[in-house]
Amino acid sequence: MNINLGEFLTKRALLTPDREALVCEDVRRTFSDLNDRANRLAYAMKKLGVGHGDRVGILAFNEPEYFELFYGLGKIGAILVPINYRLAGPEMQFIISDCEPKVMVFGPEYIEILDSIKKDLPVKEYIAISNEPPEWAKSYESLINESSNKEPELTGGGEDTLAILYTSGTTGRPKGAELTHNNFFWSSVNGSATLMGTGDTALVALPLFHIGALGGVPMYIHRGQRTILLKTLDPQRFLELIEKEKVTAFGSVPALLDFLKLVPDFEKYDFSSVKVILVYAAPVPVTLIKEYAKSGIEVRQLYGMTECCTGTVLDPESAVSKAGSCGRPFFHTDIRIVDVQNNDVGPEEKGEILMRGPVVMKGYWKRPEATADTIVDGWLHSGDIAKMDKDGFYYIMDRKKDMIISGGENIYPAEIEDSLLGNPKIMDAAVIGYPHEKWGEAVKAIVVVTQGETLTEEELIEWCQGKIGKFKIPKTVIITEEIPRSPTGKILKTVLREQYN
């Protein structure tokens, strides 16, 4: 059976046409409405020359158009490429140039930044989610209104790529993880088989360019759940929507759970409808788990990555007794922990965590060598160091390479180091994370100033503006005479962390 994710919406619209599917601010759509617009989007894209295997980028907040693109492009075998809107112009330019989308869909907030780089992009058509598009773009709504709502002929599916999600690169350049129709199907099945009791209404506030948010889109349609979409993260609005829309489940990062509690009169908001909170990116403090448990809410820790969305999940019964654990494998995911010789290790022994299953990505876009290094004999090598206890619960001990997780964002030091070395006043640079009360972790730069030059912390932070995403800009800068390196020239991050943290 060939699985085409676009057909999920067709089937759902047939089974429950009048059930509410999507709510985003003033927009409220049934499954029938959503399918109608996805079909129109499919025909509009075909008219623009988009076909099987072609890429379409989206640079926007959490807009309803994300759902229409995901399913409409799926029906015609095309590929959706979400762009991280938190990146700086040069970073966006690299990603867009790498995936070469025929069409770029964008929100009104990104007119200026796209206008500044579009002369260097391979994009043929620009579509604005706006009633007043710039002269160099078409109107999304006009294209929808001019197109047919009939079901298009299904094209592709199975092992065809449905979305490319870019991960920050440990070697300084992002890589595009190719996720197939089958990957998203099995991710949905994994969620349904493992995440019981999530109810009928999910609130999505995390950005849809992240797998933590986009990975749920197939499951909501598959299960006929209602999705409440929050365009940007506003903690007070978040709480208002939970109460108004009777939200039963939502995804989060630990920092968001803290932010919600800082909202004035937090305790007055009605959380009684919420059954489950799924938390990604970093361990949840036990105190937070206990506080939410008092309100009858399950906080369930997950572990996964862009390359394998559904890795492990902690069951609610073990949330406190196994605090710090990311749980056990999802139903259709296999997990191993191996030593440097690729041999399985025993309980409580540290090793690299490997994942296998139909949820593992197809590979990295145009990066066959990186793919071969990452997926070996069907096993995805995460680069994360973990251990398993005697009861079969997994614990992530060290982050992938030297990755920093700040406010739920994965930050790779190599990208920032590469940018810092573009400053003529810097001779050498290293980046590490350090504990931060608000964000969990923040970026610290250790730099060696070029002989004869002077540089202050404030000057360097200002220099970074516009060159890298704001969340990657160092909050602290250490100026030193030398950065410790191994005989092969590798920066000794462990030494730096011991010295400066």
By mean pLDDT, which of 34-43, 263-272, 285-294, 296-305 is the weakest?
Answer: 285-294
Q: Give the CA distances from residue 469 to residues 91, 409, 410, 474, in Å, rounded to whole numbers and listed in that order.
A: 8, 11, 12, 10
| pLDDT single digits (tens) 104-135 | 999 999 999 999 999 999 999 999 999 899 99
Evaluate if residue 27 carries a pLDDT over 90.
Answer: yes
DSSP 195: S
Evaluate if residue 56 carries a pLDDT over 60.
Answer: yes
How many CB atoms within 10 Å of residue 357?
22
Evaluate if residue 170 carries a pLDDT over 70.
Answer: no
Architecture, CATH, for domain 404-500:
2-Layer Sandwich (3.30)
Quick one: fold of 181-401? Rossmann fold (3.40.50)
Give percent of the chain above pLDDT 90. Answer: 74
Asked if residues 212 and 206 have their Cβ atoms less than 8 Å apart, the reply is yes
Catalogue the long-range contacts made by 238-241 (C-beta closer than 8 Å, 24 or more residues apart).
238/203, 238/205, 239/263, 239/266, 239/269, 240/269, 241/203
| pLDDT single digits (tens) 366-414 | 999 999 999 999 999 998 889 999 999 999 876 666 788 888 887 878 7
Domain boundaries, the chain: 1-157, 181-401, 404-500
Residue 488 has a pLDDT of 54
* Nearest C-alpha neighbor of 15 from the set 35, 29, 43, 42: 35
Asked if residues 278 and 195 have their Cβ atoms less than 8 Å apart, the reply is yes
Q: What is the mean pLDDT of residues 137-156?
A: 97
Residue 328 has a pLDDT of 96
Residue 220 has a pLDDT of 96
CATH of 1-157, picked from 3.40.960.10, 3.40.50.300, 1.10.3720.10, 3.40.50.12780, is 3.40.50.12780
Round to whole Å and give the CA distance between 15 and 396.
Answer: 41
| Band (172; pLDDT cuts 50, 70, 90) | low
Give percent of the chain above pLDDT 70. Answer: 97
Alpha carbon 110 to chain centroid, angstroms: 19
Q: What is the mean pLDDT of residues 85-90?
A: 91
Q: What is this structure's pTM? A: 0.88
Contacts of 311 (CB under 8 A, 6+ apart): 302, 303, 304, 305, 326, 329, 330, 333, 335, 353, 355
| Band (490; pLDDT cuts 50, 70, 90) | confident
181-401 matches 1-157 in CATH topology: yes
Instruction: Tell me the pLDDT of the chain averaged across its residues.
Output: 92
By mean pLDDT, which of 70-84, 215-229, 253-267, 453-467 is the weakest?
Answer: 253-267
| pLDDT single digits (tens) 67-80 | 999 999 999 999 99
